[in-house]
Amino acid sequence: MDGSVRLTELLDRDLKSKHGLSVSEYEILVRLSEAPERRLRMAELAEHASQSRSRLSHTCSRLESKGLVFRGGCPNDKRGVYAHLTDEGFAALDRAARDHVETVRDFFVDVIDPSDLAAIGRAFTAVNKRIAEAG
């Protein structure tokens, strides 16, 4: 637990100092970039990025004011809102990701035995399943 806390703090500082993005902002950009047409409904995005809707709403406002994301309505469901990744957002993500994956490799992947990495994957998949079961 301690190791995982320190790791995420390190990744967060790294991303923030080099690219001015927090991990949760980065996460949002990643999910949007992977989505078809680079857009997602707010609720889906919240789910994928495991953030509360309120938090996502605030964070998107910040990203929007940085010009990395913009929000537009949804034709089908008039309540709905799509978050779109802008070209500038995609470029920013691209730059950040290069550094980020390298840091992850450096402090996580490369120091762990491959079979232990696989074990971590199995373990947290099980944890996720258990949490989903419980609601």
Partner DNA sequence: CACGATTGGTTGAATCTTCAACATGTGCTC
Partner DNA sequence: GAGCACATGTTGAAGATTCAACCAATCGTG
Q: Which residues bind DNA (CB under 7 A)?
A: 9, 13, 16, 22, 24, 41-44, 46, 51-62, 71, 74, 76-82
DSSP code, position 16: H
* Tokens found for residue 6: 């320190």
The region of 33-41, 56-64, 87-95, 113-121 touching a copy of itself under the rule CB under 8 A is: 113-121
Backbone Cα Rg of the chain:
16
Closer Cβ to DNA, 117 or 128, answer by number = 128
Please report whether residue 127 would count as binding a copy of itself according to CB under 8 A: yes
Which of 55, 60, 79, 58 lies closest to 71 in space, CA to CA? 60
Helix (H, G, I), strand (E, B) or coil at 42: helix
Task: Select from 10, 30, 42, 97 the one that contacts a copy of itself (CB under 8 A).
Answer: 10
